[in-house]
């Protein structure tokens, strides 16, 4: 079978034929030899290969010839290489090289772009998830790997835009790798369309589905969808078409994870729900914030204490590879979502322009239903919350008291006394003293029903950060590292060193790794680049060598005997006592007469 390329009058090989040509000794860039096909995507094929110069295994991703015809596709592919090459995180697949190669069998006019990447000997998360729900500790471990990778990419100004299980790999050692930045968008790049709908509908953020401008919080929504699916064993939304699924991301409240798997802890349930907020301003502000929340979970299952589990190759592999029964899917409460062309409803989702024809009729029907339900709920709330004003009737609503800046124990007692339930959380604060309340949710003055949960956030005081390891670092760079970590440079003292270069740090106080509040001073001892040379004239040769070869000097000693003098002592030294350069050989004259 052959397919005809519009770029040339000659027939070109079929996919399998081209694969055969590439894996029969062809080399990209004169050094990267594809050996066999290991993946085929919508835009590109991936081959396991060898870097013949360094003799190491690599993955070679080559744009498919029929896709390379499109200039935008080539640009997007090249953008992936650039995006990933700017990052060096262990949870992001590394890019070693990239370029374009003319493959006459495919085209005589258009070169084929390729990317040479780190070869990951692991399993695609999508395949692992087919076995059913994960143990929460494993799901969180994988989610943290994704979030750590996103934190790196977002700091580099890159939004992934297609976080999904098919773009995540887990190695046999449990290392999580995020790959396929092929549709990544540079946040500040004006050549990209920030509202272009790209990604996978099952893991779309609402703003992606609506064609709005996106930011890093869209990646966080997609991560929350993946985490939901890992712990429940079921997709967040299902539908007959991708458009139907995308529409649910926009219009339907995400189900709670505990509705699919009741034994999950409330803490994990709340964190996933926050990640799935339709309004991105209500989600976590950054990948680091999302990861911090997951790392702070105390209970993974139910209300009992979470077991302490270290993620090791054994625990990851045994838990991931153990088949588990799929979690039950709640019965559908409505019919199939309408099959719509997203372009028909996009304008109605992001503007006040009335939609037309059938779309308008359908949306008005849905809107009417929403209005009716909202009216009923609003009426009930008004009735409950205004009962206190009716004569002879006791109010059923409880007003959240103002407890900010009170001691937590006092605040908890006051809230519990009103018939409410306290959920205790902690957070660092530079302004609120440790042990006192930062805030409550709902806020003070809000009326709620008896038995409602009130989250009370207790201050742990200023955030503690670890002193960075700046040993052997040049003073100017060490100063920058101290400042970047939130500390200030304290006293700088100069001292002798036999090994540390001039103006480099010998030691820091407090020591690296010590946790301190922001703004604390870090004192440094910096090398003068000199040693203190001892005076060994008149000393025995053994004592002289001991002093000069000590760790504080570390000189190479060369001894010459002088038979014209006696006493068995050193007569002279080639480098005089006092300040001396590092790494020297010193000549001693020894009286042996």
Residue ranges of domains in the chain, CATH in brackets = 2-118 (3.30.200.20), 123-326 (1.10.510.10), 400-459 (3.30.10.20), 464-528 (3.30.10.20), 531-591 (3.30.10.20)
What residues are annotated to the active site? 162
188-202, 211-225, 299-313, 324-338: range with lowest mean pLDDT? 324-338
* pLDDT top residue among 31 and 382: 31
pLDDT in the model for residue 415: 92
What proportion of the chain, given as a percentage, has pLDDT over 90? 45
Return the beta strands (E) in 83-213 as ranges: 95-101, 112-118, 123-124, 158-159, 168-170, 176-178, 185-186
Strand pairing partners for 570? 590
Residue 577: CB atoms within 10 A of its CB come to 12
Give me the pLDDT at residue 330, please: 32
In contact, 193 and 159? CB cutoff 8 Å:
no
Tokens for 507? Answer: 């030691």
Tokens of 482: 């101290």
Which one has a higher pLDDT value, 377 or 124? 124
* Alpha carbons 541 and 587: distance in angstroms, whole number: 12
Spell out the residues 6+ positions from residue 289 whose beta carbon is closer than 8 angstroms to its own.
none
**Residue 552 — very low, low, confident or very high, per pLDDT cuts 50/70/90?**
very high
Per-residue model confidence (pLDDT) at position 7: 31
Number of other residues whose CB lies within 10 A of the CB of residue 464: 14
Binned at pLDDT 50, 70 and 90, residue 445 comes out as confident
Measured torsion, CA atoms of residues 217, 221, 222, 225, in degrees rounded to the nearest 10: 170
Pairing of strands 488-495, 464-466: unpaired
Quick check: bond before 353 cis, omega within 30?
no
Closest CA to 51 of 34, 72, 38, 36: 34
């Amino acid at each position: 079978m052959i397919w005809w390329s519009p770029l040339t009058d000659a027939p070109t090989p079929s996919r399998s034929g081209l694969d055969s040509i590439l894996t029969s000794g062809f080399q990209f860039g004169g050094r990267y030899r594809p050996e066999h096909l290991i993946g085929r995507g919508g835009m590109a094929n991936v081959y396991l290969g060898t870097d013949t110069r360094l003799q190491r295994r690599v993955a070679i991703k080559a744009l498919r010839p029929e896709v390379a015809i499109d200039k935008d596709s080539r640009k997007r592919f090249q953008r992936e290489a650039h995006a990933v090459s700017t990052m060096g995180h262990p949870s992001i697949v590394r890019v070693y090289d990239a370029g374009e190669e003319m493959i006459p069998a495919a085209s005589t006019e258009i070169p084929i772009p390729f990317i040479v990447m780190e070869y990951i000997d692991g399993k695609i998360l999508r395949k692992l998830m087919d076995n059913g729900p994960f143990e929460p500790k494993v799901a969180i471990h994988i989610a943290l790997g994704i979030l750590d990778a996103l934190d790196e990419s977002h700091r580099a100004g890159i939004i992934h835009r297609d976080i999904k299980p098919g773009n995540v790999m887990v190695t046999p050692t449990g290392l999580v790798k995020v790959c396929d930045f092929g549709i990544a968008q540079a946040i500040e790049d004006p050549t990209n369309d920030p509202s272009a709908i790209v990604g996978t509908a099952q893991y779309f953020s609402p703003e992606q589905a609506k064609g709005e401008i996106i930011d890093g919080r869209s990646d966080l929504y997609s991560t929350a969808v993946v985490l939901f699916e890992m712990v429940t064993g079921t997709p967040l939304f299902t539908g007959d078409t991708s458009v139907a699924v995308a529409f649910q991301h926009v219009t339907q409240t995400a189900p709670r994870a505990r509705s699919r798997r009741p034994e999950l802890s409330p803490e994990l349930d709340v964190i996933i729900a926050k990640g799935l907020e339709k309004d991105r301003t209500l989600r976590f502000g950054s990948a680091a914030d999302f990861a911090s929340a997951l790392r702070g979970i105390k209970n993974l299952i139910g209300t009992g204490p979470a077991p302490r589990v270290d993620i090791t190759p054994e625990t990851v592999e045994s838990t991931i590879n153990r088949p588990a029964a799929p979690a039950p899917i709640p019965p559908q409460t409505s019919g199939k979502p309408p099959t719509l062309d997203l372009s028909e409803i996009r304008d109605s989702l992001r503007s006040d322009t009335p939609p037309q024809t059938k779309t308008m009729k359908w949306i008005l029907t849905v809107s009417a239903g929403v209005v009716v339900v909202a009216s009923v709920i609003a009426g009930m709330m008004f009735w409950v919350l205004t009962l206190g004003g009716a004569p002879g009737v006791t109010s059923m609503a409880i007003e959240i008291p103002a407890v900010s800046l009170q001691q937590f124990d006092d605040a908890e007692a006051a809230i519990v006394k009103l018939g409410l339930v306290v959920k205790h959380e902690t957070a660092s604060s530079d302004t609120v003293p440790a042990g006192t309340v930062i805030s409550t949710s709902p806020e003070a003055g809000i009326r709620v029903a008896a038995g409602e949960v009130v989250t009370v956030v207790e201050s742990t005081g200023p955030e503690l950060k670890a002193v960075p390891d700046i040993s052997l670092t040049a003073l100017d760079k060490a100063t920058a590292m101290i400042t970047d970590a939130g500390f200030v440079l304290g006293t700088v003292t100069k001292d002798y060193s036999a090994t540390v270069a001039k103006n480099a740090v010998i030691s820091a106080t407090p020591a690296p790794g010590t946790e301190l509040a922001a703004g604390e001073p870090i004192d440094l001892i910096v090398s003068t680049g000199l040693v203190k040379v001892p005076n060994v004239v008149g000393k025995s040769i053994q004592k002289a060598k001991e002093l000069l070869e000590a760790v504080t000097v570390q000189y190479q000693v060369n001894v010459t005997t002088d038979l014209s003098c006696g006493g068995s002592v050193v007569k002279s030294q080639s480098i005089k006592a006092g300040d001396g350069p590092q790494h020297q050989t010193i000549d001693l004259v020894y009286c042996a007469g």
